[in-house]
Every structure is written in structure tokens, then in C-alpha cells.
């Protein structure tokens, strides 16, 4: 089974809400809500990949010291095994805006279940509720 390493981030605003993004039509898992992030490219450290993805997708600038590891997802999709560290970040520069056509939404951790997410993400929700409350 091919292991695909993806890094993702829960941005948390001062109200304790979390940013999720809707996967575009045409991609796998289209229409599901995910944490911003993406695949690690050759030669990158995970934190570098995440900083790059957050700039590409959301137009924000994040310092490595502002990324804290929370937990990870490990999930067997049909054609690959996803291993996805989830970081949290409460400090960034700029205002997140969608640069790749994804719908964005700030939601309370206790409301994440109202937004269909990839199956890999579901076990992450209790960790976020534990961190910021429902």
C-alpha cells in the first residue's frame, strides 16, 4: 500500500472557531470539507510544506514557531494509505481568503460534524473539541 504523507492545519481564530475548506469539484473527495494543507513535496520538511500550502491556498503567512502538532490521521483509502499530521495555528499574518476557489468557513469544533468531511478526518474532531471546547 502506497503511503501518502499530507500535512494539514486547523487555524483557530480568537473566538475559538476553526477554518475548513471545501474540496473543489473534480478532485477526489470533492465537496467534502477539509483542513487546509496538502501533500509534502520532495525535499520539504512537513512544516515547510504546510507553510507553503497555507500561503498558496489561503494567502496567509505563518511562522514555523506558530505551528503546534495536535494529532494525526491514519486512514486506508482504497488506493493509498493517508498519513496526515494535524497542526494547530492561532497566529498568522494576513486574512485567510480562498486563492484556489475553495469555499471557506469558520466553525466551532462542536459543529464540525455538520460539515461532511473525509472519513480520515472524523477521528480528529474530538481532539479539536478537547483543545478549544465544543
Ligand X SMILES: Nc1nc2c([nH]c(=O)n2[C@H]2C[C@H](O)[C@@H](COP(=O)(O)OP(=O)(O)OP(=O)(O)O)O2)c(=O)[nH]1
On whether the CB atoms of residues 71 and 87 are closer than 8 A, the answer is no
Q: Would you give the distance in Å from CA 21 to the centre of its chain?
A: 8
Per CB under 6 A, does 6 bind ligand X?
yes
Within the chain, how many helices (H) and strands (E) appear? 2, 7
Binding positions for Mg(2+): 37, 57
Interaction residues for ligand X, span 74-93 (CB under 6 A)? 82
Alpha helix stretches (DSSP H) within the chain: 46-58, 125-132
User: Taking the complex as a whole, how short is the minimal distance between the CB of residue 21 and ligand X, in angstroms?
Assistant: 8
Per CB under 6 A, does 38 bind ligand X?
yes
Among 5, 29, 55, 83, binds ligand X (CB under 6 A): 29
Per CB under 6 A, does 120 bind ligand X?
yes
How many residues does the structure list for the chain? Answer: 134
Three-state secondary structure call for residue 43 = coil
Per CB under 6 A, does 34 bind ligand X?
yes
Among 35, 40, 89, 128, binds ligand X (CB under 6 A): 35
Per CB under 5 A, does 38 bind Mg ion?
yes
Which helix (H) or strand (E) segment holds residue 70: the answer is strand 68-76
Nearer residue to ligand X within complex by CB, 23 or 108 = 23
Nearest to 35 by CA among 79, 2, 84, 93: 84
Per CB under 6 A, does 61 bind ligand X?
no
Binding site for ligand X (CB under 6 A): 6, 8, 27-29, 34-35, 37-39, 82, 118, 120-121
Amino acid at each position: 500500500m502506497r503511503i501518502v504523507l499530507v500535512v494539514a492545519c486547523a487555524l483557530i481564530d480568537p473566538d475559538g472557531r476553526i477554518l475548513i475548506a471545501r474540496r473543489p469539484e473534480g478532485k477526489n473527495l470533492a465537496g467534502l470539507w477539509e483542513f487546509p494543507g496538502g501533500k509534502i513535496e520532495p525535499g520539504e520538511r512537513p512544516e515547510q510544506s504546510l507553510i507553503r500550502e497555507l500561503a498558496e491556498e489561503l494567502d496567509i503567512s505563518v511562522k514555523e514557531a506558530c505551528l503546534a502538532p495536535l494529532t494525526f490521521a491514519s486512514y486506508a483509502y482504497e488506493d493509498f494509505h493517508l498519513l496526515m499530521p494535524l497542526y494547530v495555528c492561532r497566529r498568522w499574518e494576513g486574512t485567510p481568503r480562498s486563492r484556489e476557489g475553495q469555499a471557506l468557513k469558520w466553525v466551532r469544533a462542536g459543529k464540525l460534524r455538520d460539515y461532511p468531511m473525509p472519513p480520515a478526518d472524523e477521528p480528529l474532531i474530538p481532539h479539536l473539541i478537547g483543545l478549544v471546547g465544543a
